[in-house]
């Protein structure tokens, strides 16, 4: 067995979990000091803390590899897809999109997910309730991001009128969702973050009032920021300042906040973000697909910012496999910083500890006593691993993409690669049908 723990810990003998937490770490050759009810043999596994995905848009699984959007950079890609997404009004399809993304993430070894959802057409006003229900059914931890857009083209924003909501309606629903689902306590299965979509789709008033509400309700803040040079130009033209200044002016430069992408920051902005304890979700796959650029991960970490990982939405990835994202993070960061500067342990740390910090959690993201028993276990029995030396490095370098076992809060949720309680073939068929029907409906 290989296991990712702090270098000072000898965990060669395994772990004991009780009441959903890790209560004992056993050194090689030793036995548990307490009585255990059940033993699982992890002798042939590589064991990681459960992976934590800190940015996604589940609904986009219905618009993967969209023929009119592929081969475009962010603003043109968004302008092509907003009107398409506006037509996702079937709640069964939305539920299937959510279930599919959650299942993909689980199968790649994720135990905690965060979805940034900002579309609430008539019929899916209760998108957060559907997501909470699906995560609970699968047994995954989830941060529900009550996303929002209230600035459309007619007011100088990027999205069309059809996808934005009234600000007061948004804030009322944010409060409702927090009251219904936000559990700030240790071991929480559901938490809520407030997540205005981006500077070019949200009014300044909504940015500011979301920050005030998050402070009042003790929940986190999330938004897209620093993704493209187009966004810099937009902020300078509309607000006469750069995106980080805009955050600061609206009460967002604090440790409640984590940002998706965070690519185009200058040195001074990086040091301000680090000083204020802002987290950044690095989305390597999406950033490469849309040619957005490279997040300055090492400088951000050095400045004191937390760096986590995200797959981003399924129209710019276009899958939901965080182990693949870990591998992409290694590759793009090595290209930027050099082969010795970024190791497999660094990128695995981003996907676990770093992501946990982005979500404001100190009970997940590590294998240690007192942490939640969230584990992702992989086998190295596929052709791609044959002959590998270092087992932990092999996960990343040979391209692990599917967990063999996953435990969340001490409960098995995936065994022998199969998510418990989910018929994967049926889910695939139902989701495919929903996506095909949706695509067909666009041209009626
Ligand atoms: Zn995104």
Using the structure block, give the residue that is written with the tokens 């920051």: 265
Res. 71: pLDDT tops 70: yes
Q: What own/partner pairs with CB < 8 Å and gap ≥ 24 does 331-334 have?
A: 331/284, 332/284, 332/287, 332/288, 332/294, 333/284, 333/294, 333/297, 333/298
User: Which tokens hold the place of 234?
Assistant: 């937009």
* Separation of CA 311 and ligand 1 centre (Å): 9
What pLDDT digit, counting tens, does each position of 120-153 carry?
A: 988 899 999 999 999 999 999 999 999 999 999 9
* Separation of CA 402 and ligand 1 centre (Å): 23
What pLDDT digit, counting tens, does each position of 192-244 carry?
A: 999 999 999 999 999 999 999 999 999 999 999 999 999 999 999 999 999 99
pLDDT at 443: 61
* Separation of CA 95 and ligand 1 centre (Å): 19
Instruction: Determine which helix (DSSP H) or strand (DSSP E) holds 26, and give its type and residue range.
Output: strand 21-26
What pLDDT digit, counting tens, does each position of 267-302 carry?
A: 999 999 999 999 999 999 999 999 999 999 999 999
* Separation of CA 314 and ligand 1 centre (Å): 9
* Separation of CA 400 and ligand 1 centre (Å): 24
**CB 20, CB 410: distance < 8 Å:** yes
* Separation of CA 18 and ligand 1 centre (Å): 36
Q: Which neighbouring-strand residues pair with 375?
A: 49, 407
* Separation of CA 56 and ligand 1 centre (Å): 6
Q: For the chain, which residues make up each domain, given as ranges?
A: 2-48+371-417, 51-358
What pLDDT digit, counting tens, does each position of 425-441 carry?
A: 999 999 999 999 998 88
* 50: DSSP letter: P
For 27-41, b/e burial (b = at least 16 CB within 10 A) is: eeeeeeeeeeeeeee
* Separation of CA 395 and ligand 1 centre (Å): 26
Arch. (CATH architecture) of 51-358 = Alpha-Beta Barrel (3.20)
* Separation of CA 143 and ligand 1 centre (Å): 15
* Separation of CA 202 and ligand 1 centre (Å): 14
**CB 326, CB 299: distance < 8 Å:** no
What topology does CATH give the domain 2-48+371-417? Urease, subunit C; domain 1 (2.30.40)
For 350-388, b/e burial (b = at least 16 CB within 10 A) is: bbbbbbbbbbbbebbbbbeeebbbbbbbbbbeeeebeee
C-alpha–C-alpha distance, residues 345 and 351, integer Å: 10
Average per-residue pLDDT for the chain: 96
* Separation of CA 195 and ligand 1 centre (Å): 11
* Separation of CA 52 and ligand 1 centre (Å): 16
* Separation of CA 385 and ligand 1 centre (Å): 32
* Separation of CA 139 and ligand 1 centre (Å): 24
What pLDDT digit, counting tens, does each position of 345-396 carry?
A: 999 999 999 999 999 999 999 999 999 999 999 999 999 999 999 999 999 9
| Torsions phi, psi for 392 (to 5 deg) | -65, -40
Res. 444: pLDDT tops 80: no
* Separation of CA 91 and ligand 1 centre (Å): 21
Q: What is the largest distance, in Å, between two alpha-carbon atoms of the chain?
A: 69
* Separation of CA 47 and ligand 1 centre (Å): 29
What pLDDT digit, counting tens, does each position of 299-348 carry?
A: 999 999 999 999 999 889 999 999 999 999 999 999 999 999 999 999 99
**CB 58, CB 51: distance < 8 Å:** no
């Amino acid at each position: 067995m290989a296991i990712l723990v702090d270098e000072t810990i000898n965990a060669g003998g395994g772990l004991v979990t009780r009441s959903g937490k890790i209560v004992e770490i056993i050194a090689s050759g030793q036995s548990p000091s307490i009585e255990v009810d059940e033993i699982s043999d992890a002798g042939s596994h590589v064991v990681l803390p459960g992976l934590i995905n800190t940015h996604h848009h589940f609904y986009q699984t219905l618009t993967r590899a969209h023929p009119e959007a592929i081969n475009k950079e962010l603003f043109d890609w968004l302008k092509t897809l907003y009107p398409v997404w506006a037509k996702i009004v079937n709640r069964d399809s939305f539920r299937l999109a959510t279930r599919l993304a959650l299942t993909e993430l689980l199968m790649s070894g994720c135990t905690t997910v965060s979805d940034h959802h900002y579309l609430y057409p008539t019929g899916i006003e209760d998108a957060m309730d559907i997501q909470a229900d699906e995560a609970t059914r699968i047994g995954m931890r989830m941060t529900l991001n009550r996303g929002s857009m209230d600035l459309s083209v007619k007011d100088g924003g990027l999205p069309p009128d059809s996808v934005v909501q009234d600000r007061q309606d948004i804030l009322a629903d944010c409060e409702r969702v927090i009251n219904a689902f936000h559990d700030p306590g240790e071991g929480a299965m559901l938490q809520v973050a407030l997540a205005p979509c981006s500077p070019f789709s949200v009014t300044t008033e909504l940015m500011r009032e979301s920050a005030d509400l998050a402070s009042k309700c003790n929940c986190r803040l999330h938004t897209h920021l620093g993704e493209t040079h187009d966004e810099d130009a937009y902020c300078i033209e509309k607000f006469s300042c750069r995106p980080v200044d805009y955050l600061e002016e609206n009460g967002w430069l604090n440790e409640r906040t984590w940002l998706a992408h965070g690519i185009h920051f200058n040195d001074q902005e990086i040091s301000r973000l680090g000083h204020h304890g802002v987290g950044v979700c690095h989305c390597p796959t999406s950033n490469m697909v849309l040619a957005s650029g490279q997040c300055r991960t090492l400088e951000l970490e050095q400045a004191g910012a937390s760096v986590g990982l995200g797959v981003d939405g399924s129209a710019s990835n276009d899958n939901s496999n965080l182990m693949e994202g870990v591998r992409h993070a290694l590759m793009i960061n090595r290209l930027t910083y050099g082969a010795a500067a970024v190791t497999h342990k660094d990128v695995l740390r981003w996907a676990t500890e770093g992501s946990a910090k982005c979500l404001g959690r100190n009970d997940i993201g590590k294998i240690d006593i007192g942490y939640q028993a969230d584990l992702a276990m992989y086998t190295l029995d596929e052709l791609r691993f044959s002959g590998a030396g270092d087992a932990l490095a092999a996960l990343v370098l040979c391209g692990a993409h599917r967990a063999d076992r996953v435990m969340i809060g001490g409960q098995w949720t995936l065994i022998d690669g199969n998510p418990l309680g989910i018929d994967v073939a049926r889910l695939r068929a139902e989701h495919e049908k929903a996506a095909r029907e949706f695509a067909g409906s666009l041209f009626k």
